[in-house]
Amino acid sequence: MASHQHLPNVVVDDDDDLVLAAAGGIRGGLMGSSQQLGGGLLVDLHASYLATSASVEASTTVFELAAASHLRMSGAYWGLCALSLIRKTNAMDINALVEWVASCQHSDSGGFGADTNHDAHILYTLSAVQILAIVDRMDAIDVKAAADYVAARQCADGSFTGDEWGERDTRFSYCAVSCLALLGRLDAIDVDAATTHVMSCMNFDGGFGCVPGGESHAGQVFTGVGALSIIDPQLRMLSEAQKRTMAAWLAERQTSKGGFNGRPEKLPDVCYSWWVLSALACLGKLHYIDGSKLRAFVLGCQNDERGGISDRPDDEADVYHTFFGIAGLSLLGLDTDVVDAVDARFALPEKVVERILLR
């Protein structure tokens, strides 16, 4: 392992977040002492942590949340989806949420901003659609305009831009494919070109980078294999050798601490519980890693006083890691008494995906 892991008291900046800055944690002392100690998932504490983080009041008075306004739509999706997985959506005001989501759709382009008055971007367009998918309220927005916005992001080489300013990234390929599949509009893009582009971002280690030649990291691997899995759940565009290399690289992300890192020789981080596991699930290789050790690592990152899950033990919790920790536990299937099943390709509750795809 990297030598810096052995150095105590050194803060190593190790964040390679896929969607960047995590929505901040609640710093107010809102919870009483834990009622659920004993090694399991602190469901009630997390529910109240997530619900409070999502409140309008907190978003104006808690600095970390106010400063996360630029990704608030994703924060709302993480929070809602986590609550849905632990069966606590009643902790949220769904009508107010839907109204706010709809208010973030731009009437000119059809895309969604991260918050009211923020510019539209494909990242937040996907988050908005995911939220509405969970609560089954797609009627609240102009679906055709949203699909047109996403389709208009595709370039001649099959790649996707995030917005009108032209940044291209396989994250945006995933956003496009996932979003359009949820809207029932995959026909709006050139799926073969999208596939070819994602494949051109495959690397020597079997993973995917942001662009051709970009280094693999586990989050990016999920976007690649997730997009390809939505296009073809059998992943027939990948050779057996490619699948094997990719799965081995993903399995090798598990560190001796049980948690996963995002790239070789990096520290473990709860969010990769999701990125690595979901990619392994797409490949049908969840048995390549030690699930119970991973579970222990995630549970050890819970804040047992105020709720929420952090990147590593004893760090401050946030909504992003809380969601990816819970979603990772869901894929492991060791806590089915308190966590619903998640769909690895869409990062949504399985029952939501079934409802939409069977429609």
Partner 1 sequence: MHGRRRVSASLASSPEFLEQSAAKAKSYRALLGAVLQASAAKSYLDKQIALSAKLCELNPEAATSWNYRKRATLANHNSENTPIGELPADLRVSVAEAELTVSEAALKRNPKSYCAWYHRRWVLDTWIGKDFAVKPFDAVLERECTLTEQFLSLDPRNFHGWGYRRYLAEFVGETPETELAFSRRLIERDLSNYSAWHHRSAVLPACHGSAAIGGGDAESESRWRGTMGAMSAAATHIPADTLLEEQDLWFQAAVTEPADQAAWVYARWVSGLGSRLEDPEARARVREKDVKQAREVLALEPDATWALVHLANALAAPLDASEADREEARRLYAQLAEVDVDRSGMYEEWARTL
Q: Which of residues 176-195 bind partner 1 (CB under 8 A)?
A: none
Determine, following the binding rule CB under 8 A, whether residue 155 of this chain makes contact with partner 1.
no
Which of 84, 203, 278, 330 contacts partner 1 by CB under 8 A?
203
Interface positions, 35-64, toward partner 1 (CB under 8 A): 60-64
d(CA 216, CA 242): 14
Residue 122, SS3 per DSSP: helix
Distances (CA, A) of 53 to 59, 139, 152, 267: 7, 26, 34, 27
Part of the chain binding partner 1 (CB under 8 A), chosen from 6-14, 73-81, 89-97, 101-109: 6-14
By the 10 Å C-beta count (0-12 exposed, 13-18 middle, 19+ buried), 17 is classed as middle
d(CA 327, CA 306): 20
Task: Give the binding-site size for partner 1 (rule: CB under 8 A).
Answer: 88
Determine, following the binding rule CB under 8 A, whether residue 108 of this chain makes contact with partner 1.
no
Part of the chain binding partner 1 (CB under 8 A), chosen from 78-86, 87-95, 248-256, 326-334: 248-256
Determine, following the binding rule CB under 8 A, whether residue 127 of this chain makes contact with partner 1.
no
Determine, following the binding rule CB under 8 A, whether residue 284 of this chain makes contact with partner 1.
no
- Least distance from C-beta 185 to partner 1, angstroms? 25
Nearest Cα residue to 72 out of 94, 95, 100, 99: 100
Q: Which is nearer to partner 1, 52 or 84 (CB)?
A: 52
- Least distance from C-beta 229 to partner 1, angstroms? 18
Interface positions, 285-304, toward partner 1 (CB under 8 A): 285, 287-290, 293, 303
Tokens of 78: 């993480």
Distances (CA, A) of 100 to 175, 210, 240: 21, 31, 45
Which of 148, 316, 340, 350 contacts partner 1 by CB under 8 A?
316
Determine, following the binding rule CB under 8 A, whether residue 16 of this chain makes contact with partner 1.
yes
d(CA 287, CA 281): 9
- Least distance from C-beta 84 to partner 1, angstroms? 24
Q: What is the maximum span of the chain, computed from C-alpha positions, in angstroms?
A: 56
Determine, following the binding rule CB under 8 A, whether residue 166 of this chain makes contact with partner 1.
yes
Which of 318, 331, 345, 356 contacts partner 1 by CB under 8 A?
318
d(CA 296, CA 329): 10
Determine, following the binding rule CB under 8 A, whether residue 12 of this chain makes contact with partner 1.
yes
Determine, following the binding rule CB under 8 A, whether residue 29 of this chain makes contact with partner 1.
yes
Which of 275, 306, 309, 335 contacts partner 1 by CB under 8 A?
306
Q: What are phi and psi of 343, to 5 degrees?
A: -90, 125
- Least distance from C-beta 60 to partner 1, angstroms? 6
By the 10 Å C-beta count (0-12 exposed, 13-18 middle, 19+ buried), 295 is classed as buried
Measure CA 82 to chain center.
Answer: 10
